[in-house]
Amino acid sequence: MEKPETIENQECPICKTKNLSMTQEEIEIPFFGKTFVFSMTCSNCKYHVADVEAAETKEPIKQTIEISSEEDMKIRVIKSSQATIKIPHITTITPGPASTGYITNIEGILRRVKHQVEVLADEAEDNDEKKKAKKMIKKLNKVMWGDEKLKITIEDPSGNSAIISDKTESSKLR
């Protein structure tokens, strides 16, 4: 692994102050290949973007995995800013201007989703909505403890995403 390269004091595209730092790192991911990880963060206005990109050109992907044990929490996930993550009956994480790319694992994805649902539960004014969100949180906890199964699908037309496991099923992205 090479050392991350950081350039400080760049001009921020949003607030125009020179508080932007840019980081780029090149890492080797088993069964995925050489990958660039980069991010830009402004300490003044909190502007933040991040993404991952494979060094070699990849085909569009659609991969599904069924999570069934605590052990599965460690499965590595590469999610680019172009990726859509679908968790049936819970949520869909869609690409867009606020979407970032990162390398994480199944647990990391589930924690992000749980946080989103918790925010929703807090903000919900409707009691039914609150109940629904609380049910989802319960379900996510059970999945993280390995007590319940859950399917996760990741679709990425750029091909810069992957679920690295021999349990992953690939199909054609349409």
Please report whether residue 11 would count as binding Zn ion according to CB under 5 A.
no
Tell the smallest beta-carbon distance from residue 11 to Zn ion (Å): 9
The reply to whether 45 sits near Zn ion by the rule CB under 5 A is yes
Helix (H) or strand (E) holding 33: strand 33-42
The minimum distance between CB 16 and Zn ion, in angstroms, equals 7
36: left (phi over 0), alpha (psi -120 to 50) or beta: beta
Closest distance to Zn ion from the beta carbon of 79 (Å): 24
State which of positions 14-43 bind Zn ion (CB under 5 A). Answer: 14-15, 42
Residue in 29, 47, 91, 111 binding Zn ion, rule: CB under 5 A: 47
Stretch touching Zn ion by CB under 5 A, among 5-13, 53-61, 63-71, 103-111: 5-13
Q: Does 119 bind Zn ion (CB under 5 A)?
A: no
How far apart are alpha carbons 59 and 39 in whole angstroms? 24
Rounded to a whole number of angstroms, the CA Rg of the chain reads 18
Give the shortest CB-52-to-Zn ion separation in angstroms.
Answer: 23
Q: How many residues bind Zn ion (CB under 5 A)?
A: 7
Q: Distance between CA atoms of 117 and 123, rounded to whole angstroms?
A: 10
Applying CB under 5 A, the span of 13-21, 54-62, 138-146, 162-170 interacting with Zn ion comes to: 13-21
C-alpha distances in angstroms, 96 versus 62, 79, 158? 18, 13, 14
Smallest distance from Zn ion to CB 147, Å: 44
Q: What is the DSSP letter of 71?
A: G
3-class DSSP assignment, residue 2:
coil
Q: What does residue 133 show for φ and ψ, rounded to 5 degrees?
A: -65, -40
Tokens of 85: 């993550």
Residues near Zn ion (CB under 5 A) are 12, 14-15, 42, 44-45, 47
